[in-house]
Every structure is written in C-alpha cells, then in structure tokens.
Structure 1
Amino acid sequence: MKQLVISFIFLLSSSLLFAQQEKSDIYKGNKLYGQKKYKEAQASYQQALRKKQQSVEGSFNLGDALYKQKDFEKAGQQFNQIASSANNKNLAAGAWHNLGNSLMEQKKYEESINAYKKSLLNNPNDEQTRYNLAYAQEMLKKQQQQNKNNQNQDKDNKDQNKKDKDNKDQNKKDKDKQKQNQNQQNNNNNQDKQDQNKNQPDKQNQDQQKQQQQKQQLSKEDAERMLNALNNNERQTQDKLKNQKLKGQKVQISKDW
C-alpha cells in the first residue's frame, strides 16, 4: 500500500521580510520546533502573531506546530487562510499541500484531493504533492466502497430485522389464535356440560315415567293373571259341583210289570 508523504514548507525567519519585533518570537518558536517541543513552539508563534497579525511566517509555522500536535482541524484552518490569501505561488503551493495533508488525516479525502490539485496548479513539478494526490484518490475509492458495503450491510440488517419482526408477529398471531381456539374449546366443553346437566332432569323424568309405565303394565298383567286364575277356579268349582250333582241323582228304571 502506498504511504502518504508528509512534507512541510517551513519558512525561516528573515529580517528582510519581517519586522524586528516578532523576529525573536519566531526564532524562539523555530528553535523549540526543532527540539520537538511543539506546544511551546505554538505559544511562541502565537506571541509573534499578536505583535504582527500579518506575519506569514508566524502563521505558517503555527500551522505546522498544530499539525505536529495532531490538531489537524486548526492546522488546516491556518493553511487554508494562508493559501487563500497568498500572492506567492511557492507559498500558495506549500499551504495547499499542507492543507491537503491536514484533510487527509481527518479522512476528508475528497477535500484533500482538491487541495493537492490547487497545490499542483501553483507548482506542477512537486512530485510529493502529485504522489499524495494519487494516494488520496486511492483512499477515496476505498472509502466509497466501504460506505457502499456499509449501506448494503445496513440494508441487510434492516431486512433481517423486518423478517425477524414479521416472524415474531406471526408467532404472536399463532399463539393468540391457539389460545383463542383453546378458549373456544373450553367454552364448548362448558356448554356441553351445561346442556348435559340441563337435560339430566328430563332424562330422570323419562326414566321415572318408563318405570311407572312398566309398573303399570306389570300391574295390569298381574290383574289379568289374577282374573284368569279366578275364572279358572270358578270353572273348576262349577265343574266339580256338576259332577257331584250328576253322581248323586237317582236313575229311575222303568219296570215292565
């Protein structure tokens, strides 16, 4: 993978370009910067700018000190201000280059590409800027692809969540329906029991009536049997009496004399 080339255009203080009163602060800041004491160097550059706000060297070197402290947003603001107002092509090219680096660190690849292109307009022969431009373009493609993958993943997650929700809702409906059916079955069973209990007296009455009818029928049959028995006895008695009467009757025999 390509590696970003970080380069800074570090302006040395010069008594020919800057007023004497901020010269010592810038010099002190440069010395601290060389010692990698970037926070202290920042304070010296800010002190120089309080004495001369239009100090290009102080502004540029302040941006470098902020960049080294990884305060890329404020560093970018410094370089953008210098690049936008610079009349010198080399100064503008360096400011746009460093602005591109600051934007790269913030993963603002599209903006960094624009900054590198503006740097190359002012200095077309800067190979470091050209290299960083190609690197930024490559990183932008990867970022766009990653965003696309994330969008697809989000869509898949949303679809899966919707599917899970639909399944959950369906399961709930099935459970509710099952519960409703169970309640209906229970109600039907209860109704059957009520109907059975309701019909129980009728059945008892029917059984009683049947028993009564059977009893009445038996009584009638008994009566008939008794009547038949009496008739038989009476007939037997009459037959007996008749036999006895016939046996005791004298027979007159006519004599022929």
Structure 2
Amino acid sequence: MNKILLATLLLIPSSWSKISEKNAAIDLAAEKYAKAEYEESVRQHLALLNEHDITSSEVNFDLALSYQLNGQEEDAKKKYLELSGAPKANIASSASNQNGVLLGREKKYEEALTAFKTALIKDPTNEIARYNYELLARWLDKNQDQQEQENQDDNKQEPSNYAKRMKAEADKLVEQFKFKEALDVMSKALEIDETVSHYQEFIKNLGDINEINEN
C-alpha cells in the first residue's frame, strides 16, 4: 500500500509540470497577440497546437487572426474555413465573417457576401456580420456590372504580404552584404508561411553564397 502511495505521489509533480508548461505557453501566445507581435503570435499559437496539443476552437481562431494580422492571408482563410464548421456558433460565425472580410479585400465580392451570409446563419446575433452583409449587398446592387469585370482573376497564388515584407527585409540585409542574416530571415519566414517559397530561387542563391563564404 505504501509503495502504491509513493508511486502516485511521485507522478504528481510531472503532471503539475505539464500543466504549468501549457499555461505558460497559453500566456505567452496571448501576450504576443496583445502586444501586436503577430509573427511571434503565429509561432506561439502553432506551438500550442503542435507541441502542447491544445486544439480548441478558440486557439485556432486566435491563430487565424494572427495569420491575418501578420499578412498571411491565405493561411488565415484556410483556418477560417475550417472554423466555419466549429461546434460553437460564435466561433463559426466570427470565422465566416473574417473570411468574408479577406475575400472582400481581394475584390471577390460575391464570395464575401456568401461568407457574411453564412456568418449570419451560424449566429443571427452577429451584428458585425449583419452590417457587413447589408453594406456589401447594397454596394453590389449598385455596382454589379463593374464587379463582374473585377471578379475576373487568374487565381494564381502570390506571396503573402508577410512574405513580401520578409523579402524586402532580406534585400536590405543583402545590400549590407549580410547574406547569412538574410538567409535566416527567409528560412524562418518559410517555416510559418508556405508562400515564401515564391522566392525559392533567391533563398537558394543566399544558401550558395553562404556556403562559399564559409569555405
């Protein structure tokens, strides 16, 4: 009996440690978002999902917002689409609304209108989605011909605003002959944003230059 009790007591600190680590990770992710450090917020929310197995709708929604505010629009849209089927009505509705906002910015107005409508179906009390839906519906009604022309696009994936920002930062480092630092910037960006691969040739060249410098 004493041995069983001792074994139980010895297991408790490990459990406490895991809980403490999870709580610290949650606090860190929230802190980065609150401070508008959106790149780090993306990293920390990904850590919650992948390292701590915290997969709640709330965490995923915060990750989507972090993607959006970090300029990773495609990643944000994918996550919002996933969350539009979330069991919690407020999360599903908010995700659909945010997806509509992103689609609207891309001038995909009909798709945006559908997203706002979906948000209202998920949660009829979502007044932000209602406002967006009614505003866009009125605007489309007056500008339908113009929108049909603007909605024609080639659907080609372009680097996100975040990817472009990181490329510009790397370019400045290259101008200062800081090739290793430039490679680090692009490599870290690629870890969280697949559209950075648009600059794969640039990244490869940086790698080649670094190899020459190290030899």
The alignment's TM-score, normalised by the length of structure 1, stands at: 0.46
CA contact (8 A) 1:72 1:105 kept: no
- Partner of residue 32, structure 1: 32
Q: Structure 1 unaligned segments of length 5 or more: list them.
A: 1-18, 151-257
1:1-257 equivalent positions in 2, closer than 5 A: 22-51=22-51, 52=53, 54-84=55-85, 86-141=86-141, 144-146=144-146
**Does the residue aligned with 2:84 lie in a helix, a strand or coil?**
helix
Cα deviation code 1:154-174 (max 9, x no counterpart): xxxxxxxxxxxxxxxxxxxxx
* Matched pairs, number: 131
CA pair 104-149 structure 1, distance change in 2 beyond 3 A:
closer
Deviation at 1:143, TM superposition (A): 5.7
Larger radius of gyration: 1
**Does the residue aligned with 1:97 lie in a helix, a strand or coil?**
helix
Q: How many angstroms apart in 1 are the aligned matches of 2:74 and 2:104?
A: 11
CA contact (8 A) 1:93 1:122 kept: yes
CA contact (8 A) 2:61 2:91 kept: no
**Does the residue aligned with 1:43 lie in a helix, a strand or coil?**
helix
Q: Structure 2 unaligned segments of length 5 or more: list them.
A: 1-18, 151-215
Cα deviation code 1:47-105 (max 9, x no counterpart): 11102163322211110011112322211111110112x11212211221222122122
Cα deviation code 1:126-168 (max 9, x no counterpart): 2211110122224434663225678xxxxxxxxxxxxxxxxxx
Q: How many angstroms apart in 2 are the aligned matches of 1:67 and 1:102?
A: 8
1:78 partner amino acid = K
2:92 partner amino acid = A
Deviation at 1:33, TM superposition (A): 1.0
CA pair 147-119 structure 1, distance change in 2 beyond 3 A:
closer
2:77 partner amino acid = G
**Does the residue aligned with 1:70 lie in a helix, a strand or coil?**
coil
CA pair 148-117 structure 1, distance change in 2 beyond 3 A:
closer
Q: How many angstroms apart in 1 are the aligned matches of 2:32 and 2:46?
A: 13
**Does the residue aligned with 1:136 lie in a helix, a strand or coil?**
helix
1:134 partner amino acid = E
Q: Which has the higher contact order (CA 8 A, sep 6+)?
A: 2
The alignment's TM-score, normalised by the length of structure 2, stands at: 0.54
